Amino acid sequence: DVKVTQSSRYLVKRTGEKVFLECVQDMDHENMFWYRQDPGLGLRLIYFSYDVKMKEKGDIPEGYSVSREKKERFSLILESASTNQTSMYLCASSFLPGTGKPLEQYFGPGTRLTVT
Amino acid sequence: DQQVKQNSPSLSVQEGRISILNCDYTNSMFDYFLWYKKYPAEGPTFLISISSIKDKNEDGRFTVFLNKSAKHLSLHIVPSQPGDSAVYFCAASDGNYGQNFVFGPGTRLSVLP
């Protein structure tokens, strides 16, 4: 069974704090993703990574950065948290396309971040 | 501008009847589509997929239909069960961009006993 774990289920931070969200997957997936989910907007891609030390901006990268030092681990960093970053953050992983392996993404349980 | 649309925010269906969830897309380059189910306080879980070379894919009670000319897909759940109550997301990807999927806003399905 694929397992994607996220470091926290719930997090409360103050405006201006630096926030780290960690994600670990155990399926040897090449791809890892960070999304945020907001009501009525679905899942919006923040960043993704297709290899160690590689990263690509998604649709809403502003205010976020990422780090992928090991294949199984992908971190999302909020350099200076703001109230409009209050959201549900979801990590996902998948195989690379073109390898003949399933393309679907496997998601972690999410981190509900509140910035006050 | 949303490339993947799910125009019904919510849907209620009686247990045992058919649930039909709809999804429309605007990007003609999309060639692979998936449906995910999400329960509260959990991450989305993969349900079923379809490639653009097919117009139908079945897996048990779940069937996805793809109409490429209309840029429309639908998920049918027959028969619906109370445990199917969840938010359903449609997602689409184009082969060239590859690893990324664009998600719709979701439809909340309630199956009433």
The whole-angstrom separation of Cα B54 and Cα B39 is 29
List, for residues A74-108, the tens digit of each pLDDT value: 999 999 999 999 999 999 999 887 777 778 899 99
For chain B, percent of residues with pLDDT exceeding 90: 80
State residue B78's pLDDT score: 97
State residue B2's pLDDT score: 78
Note whether A34 and A85 are within 8 A (CB). Answer: no
Q: Closest chain B residue to A105 measured between Cα atoms?
A: B46
**E strands of B1-113, at which residues?**
4-5, 10-14, 19-25, 30-38, 45-51, 56-59, 62-67, 72-77, 86-94, 102-103, 107-112
State residue B97's pLDDT score: 45
- Which residues of chain B lie closer than 8 angstroms to A43, CB-CB? 44, 89, 91, 103
Average of per-residue pLDDT across B91-108: 80
| Greater model confidence, B59 or B95 | B59
DSSP state of B52: T
* Cross-chain Cβ contact A107/B104 below 8 Å: no
The whole-angstrom separation of Cα A66 and Cα B102 is 20
Q: Closest chain B residue to A89 measured between Cα atoms?
A: B43
* Cross-chain Cβ contact B95/A97 below 8 Å: yes
Nearest to B101 among A41, A96, A105 (CB): A105
